[in-house]
Amino acid sequence: MFAYVIRRLLRTLLVLVGVSVVVFAFVRSIPGDPATALLGERATPEAAAKLNAQWGFDKPWFINYKDLSRPFDAQYPRYVNQLLHGDMGSGIKSQIPVADELKTRFPATIELALGAMVFALSIGLPAGILAALRRNSLWDNLATTISLVGVSMPVFWLGLLLSWFFAVVLGWLPPSSRLSTGLNIQPVTGMYLLDGLLRGRLDVAWDAFKHLILPSIALGTIPMAITARITRSSLLETLGQDYVRTARAKGLPARSVTLKHALRNALLPVVTVVGLQMGALLGGAVLTETIFSWPGLGLWLYDAISMRDYPVIQGGIVFAALIVSVVNLLVDLSYAYLDPRIHYS
Amino acid sequence: MTATITTKPKKQENIFWRRFRRSTPGKLGASIVALFVLLALLAPVIKPYNPAGDIDYRYRLAPPSISAYWNQEAKEKYTEPVSGKIEYFKHPFGTDNLGRDIATRVLHGARISLQIGILATMLALLTGSLLGLLGGFFGGWLDTVLGYFSDVMLAFPGILLAIGIVSISNNPGLTTAMIAVSIVQIPIYLRLARSVVLGVREREFVQAAGALGASQGRMIFRHVLPNILSPLIVQGALSIATATIEAAALGFIGLGAQPPTPEWGTMLADSRQYYTSAPWTMIFPGLAILLTVLGFNLLGDGLRDVLDPRSTQ
């Protein structure tokens, strides 16, 4: 087990190095340069070149082939060196250190992703369980239909639809941002709903909650549909197993058979799938955040790409990939915990 | 003279069709897909598209004309001033900010979306499964490198990778979006093909072919390839759905098809300025995306029922 964890960790680390190299090369292949993007089209080439040189963007990418006596005086080695010293650089436009910006952006995205997950699980799990227990009933058909439509849903359209109906037509919920203007709160976790509760500012918590509902539903619909689907098929499979029949034959109450024997075992694939949804959630967050002007990672990256803000794009995407990789790692390792039959050699 | 049998023995119905006809999702999906394919093919006949000539400033952001059946405002809008007749089908889905008919644009969008979805998937399927086939069959360093390569690609949220690829090309448009969506899907096929090949490679009939002196190319393409097709086809149908959504998403954030191309995602992007007062500019293109994607997802499920009867999902 221990050896497996170490090997798995090394592999994750290697993948992250690969990701950083890819992102690094990608970002620099985007036509245009940060200085011109910042100074505008009418800046003289000399001024732009000077600014780029000041930021070190005139240096070779990976190896300083111009002067081999100092081979690591190139952009990537310098960037890695910076990273190892805990410095992710600063945004070119904002001049705010990327690490600081991450500290406010990341909790916003996490709050959104958690909201989406809560929505997905609170609807998807019961729907899947109900569908499996009452197979071929009206409930089953309803749950199956909803999950089919759900997985086919374009997130960005659902976002527009929700904000039109609930914010414009009914006027029940705010259409964008995280808090109403005029309200603010000293962050503890950076997740406003939680911060409001922690600091006893119930008005802020309520307001944050209302802002969170629509984006969470938009982002959570696909995971909800997938959860319902997997739960249903996994539970159906478990219910057909011999040990469930044995438990029934022993005369255990039906409730205890389904909940204790079947459901617990049926949830293993659900954990996997839910965990693997994390990557999709971060991707979906880019779209959801642009629709709801949610100031998280997605909106930040989206803006950064149009501004050619190299440090921000690099930092943000590598960070997103880090999160996805770590979650995948945890999902893998949780198998052994959840299913004692699995041994890693 | 001996009697000859004149009636041919009744041809046995293909097992594929027999199973497919029993699969409700399959039938439903196939019908939706067929409908959209038909609409896409017939679009120029049903209503020719002319981005410049179709602009009708008298009907800017006009509501769907079918709503004239119950909506007084729409009724007045679509009443012909001279004859007093109500034109219920003048702009059935309404018009956009330039007075372009949304129904026509959605119709022609079907051509674009189906093209992107199918081409992108085919490209990814061919490249990815070829690489996976080779990696799985030969193993060794090739397999390691390809595995690493797909691990790195899968660590990115898909849409971010697609955005990155489009940004590099500096040439946002349909072709670029298609290639980007396609590249993102390559690792999926690579892994799928590889895992199936690993199972098939050790089976007796492949070993036997090798023992009989078949060349490696023959073993791969004649013996292994046909046996990994089923999962690839199922994944293919499901991938068209994903590709359609991703291409529309790129259009939506302005990195896909460019206006005035009537691509569904691009139409949704255009609608963002108007949808609060003219929701029909947003509702119909999105509904078209949803239905197309639903159709391919159902078709994929149906094909799985047919081609892989062991799977319970």
DSSP string, A61-76: SSS-TT-TTSTT-SHH
At position B5, the amino acid (one-letter code) is I
Q: What is the CATH number of the domain that holds A172?
A: 1.10.3720.10
Mean pLDDT by 10 residues, chain A (345 residues): 82 87 80 72 74 73 72 76 75 80 87 91 92 87 90 91 88 81 75 78 83 92 91 87 85 81 82 79 86 88 78 82 83 73 63
Distance from the B4 Cα atom to the nearest Cα atom in chain A, whole angstroms: 52
Residues B198/B190, Cβ–Cβ less than 8 Å:
no
Which residues are CB-contacts of A215 (< 8 A; sequence separation ≥ 6)?
A: A112, A115, A116, A159, A288, A289, A291, A292, A294
Per-residue tokens: B286: 């999105």
Is the domain of A77 the same as that of A29?
yes
Distance from the B81 Cα atom to the nearest Cα atom in chain A, whole angstroms: 31
Rounded CA-CA distance B29/A91 in Å is 47
In this prediction, residues B12-17 reach a mean pLDDT of 70
Of A53, A84, A115, which closes a domain?
Answer: A84
CA dist A158 → A282, B278, B292 (Å) = 17, 16, 15
Enumerate the residues of chain B whose CB falls inside 8 A of the CB of residue A324: 155-157
Rounded CA-CA distance A85/A87 in Å is 6
Interface test with B, best of A16, A27, A36, A157 (most B CBs within 10 A): A157
Angle of CA points A297, A300, A306, to nearest 5°: 140
Residue given tokens 């994929």 in the structure block: B300
**Closest alpha carbon within chain A to B280:** A161
Which residues are CB-contacts of A214 (< 8 A; sequence separation ≥ 6)?
A: A159, A162, A163, A166, A167, A173, A175, A292
In this prediction, residues B57-65 reach a mean pLDDT of 74
Within a domain: A8: yes
**Closest alpha carbon within chain A to B285:** A157
Angle of CA points A204, A114, A310, to nearest 5°: 95
Q: Positive or negative CA dihedral for A148, A152, A156, A158?
A: negative
The pLDDT value recorded for residue A104 is 84
In this prediction, residues B217-227 reach a mean pLDDT of 81
The pLDDT value recorded for residue B313 is 41
In this prediction, residues B194-207 reach a mean pLDDT of 82
Within a domain: A89: no
In this prediction, residues B79-103 reach a mean pLDDT of 76
Q: Which of A280, A305, A321 sits opposite B155 (nearest CB)?
A: A321
Within a domain: A90: no
Tell me the percentage of chain B whose pLDDT exceeds 70: 91
Residues A127/A146, Cβ–Cβ less than 8 Å:
yes
What is the number of domains present in chain A?
2
Residue A240 per-residue DSSP state: T
Is the domain of A111 the same as that of A259?
yes
Enumerate the residues of chain B whose CB falls inside 8 A of the CB of residue A288: none
pLDDT band for position B312 (cuts 50, 70, 90): very low
Of A84, A118, A150, which closes a domain?
Answer: A84
Is the domain of A8 the same as that of A111?
no
Residues B200/B206, Cβ–Cβ less than 8 Å:
yes
Within a domain: A295: yes
Is the domain of A200 the same as that of A55?
no
pLDDT band for position B2 (cuts 50, 70, 90): low
Q: Positive or negative CA dihedral for A248, A254, A256, A262?
A: positive
Residue B94 has pLDDT above 90, yes or no: no
Nearest to A144 by CA among B28, B234, B74, B30: B28
Range of the domain at A6: 2-84
Residue B311 has pLDDT above 60, yes or no: no
Per-residue tokens: B274: 């108007």
Burial bucket for residue B9 (CB in 10 Å: 0-12, 13-18, 19+): exposed
Is the domain of A242 the same as that of A108?
yes
Is the domain of A163 the same as that of A130?
yes
Which residues are CB-contacts of B193 (< 8 A; sequence separation ≥ 6)?
A: B128, B129, B130, B131, B132, B133, B136, B228, B232
Residue B10 has pLDDT above 70, yes or no: no
Is the domain of A168 the same as that of A254?
yes
Residue A179 per-residue DSSP state: S
Residues B107/B43, Cβ–Cβ less than 8 Å:
yes
Interface test with A, best of B145, B165, B167 (most A CBs within 10 A): B167
Q: Tally DSSP H helices, then E strands, for chain B.
A: 12, 0
Is the domain of A146 the same as that of A206?
yes
Q: Which of A149, A168, A283 sits opposite B160 (nearest CB)?
A: A283
pLDDT band for position B13 (cuts 50, 70, 90): low
Enumerate the residues of chain A whose CB falls inside 8 A of the CB of residue B252: 156, 287
Beta bridge partners of residue B101, listed in sequence order: B95
pLDDT band for position B32 (cuts 50, 70, 90): very high
Residues B264/B113, Cβ–Cβ less than 8 Å:
yes
Rounded CA-CA distance A79/B301 in Å is 46
Beta bridge partners of residue A97, listed in sequence order: A90
Within a domain: A283: yes
Residues A185/A201, Cβ–Cβ less than 8 Å:
yes
Per-residue tokens: A120: 């997905």
Within a domain: A170: yes
Rounded CA-CA distance B11/B109 in Å is 41
The pLDDT value recorded for residue B288 is 93
Within a domain: A91: no
Which residues are CB-contacts of A38 (< 8 A; sequence separation ≥ 6)?
A: A51, A92, A93, A307
Residue B121 has pLDDT above 50, yes or no: yes
Residues B221/B229, Cβ–Cβ less than 8 Å:
no
CA dist A273 → A136, A278, A328, B16 (Å) = 24, 9, 10, 30
Rounded CA-CA distance A5/A201 in Å is 43
Interface test with B, best of A30, A112, A152 (most B CBs within 10 A): A152
Enumerate the residues of chain B whose CB falls inside 8 A of the CB of residue A31: 168, 170
Enumerate the residues of chain B whose CB falls inside 8 A of the CB of residue A161: 282-283, 286
Kindly report the backbone phi and psi dihedral angles of residue A90, in degrees, each rounded to the nearest multiple of 5, phi listed first: -120, 150
Within a domain: A96: no
Q: Are B271 and A160 inside 8 Å of each other by CB?
A: yes
Per-residue tokens: B242: 């994903």
| Strand, coil or helix: A97 | strand
The pLDDT value recorded for residue B8 is 57
Cis ω on the peptide bond leading into residue B260 (within 30° of 0)? yes
**Closest alpha carbon within chain B to A240:** B312
Rounded CA-CA distance B282/B267 in Å is 8
Q: What is the pLDDT of residues B137-148, one digit of tens each?
A: 888 899 889 988
Is the domain of A319 the same as that of A187?
yes
Is the domain of A122 the same as that of A213?
yes
The pLDDT value recorded for residue A200 is 76
- Burial A159-195, CB ≥16 within 10 A → b, else e: bbbbbbebbeeeeebbbeebbeeeeebeeeebbbbbb
Of A19, A49, A84, which closes a domain?
Answer: A84
Is the domain of A65 the same as that of A209?
no
Q: Are B294 and A317 inside 8 Å of each other by CB?
A: no
Is the domain of A332 the same as that of A197?
yes
Kindly report the backbone phi and psi dihedral angles of residue B251, in degrees, each rounded to the nearest multiple of 5, phi listed first: -60, -40
Q: Are B297 and A152 inside 8 Å of each other by CB?
A: yes
At position B215, the amino acid (one-letter code) is S
Enumerate the residues of chain B whose CB falls inside 8 A of the CB of residue A26: 164, 167-168
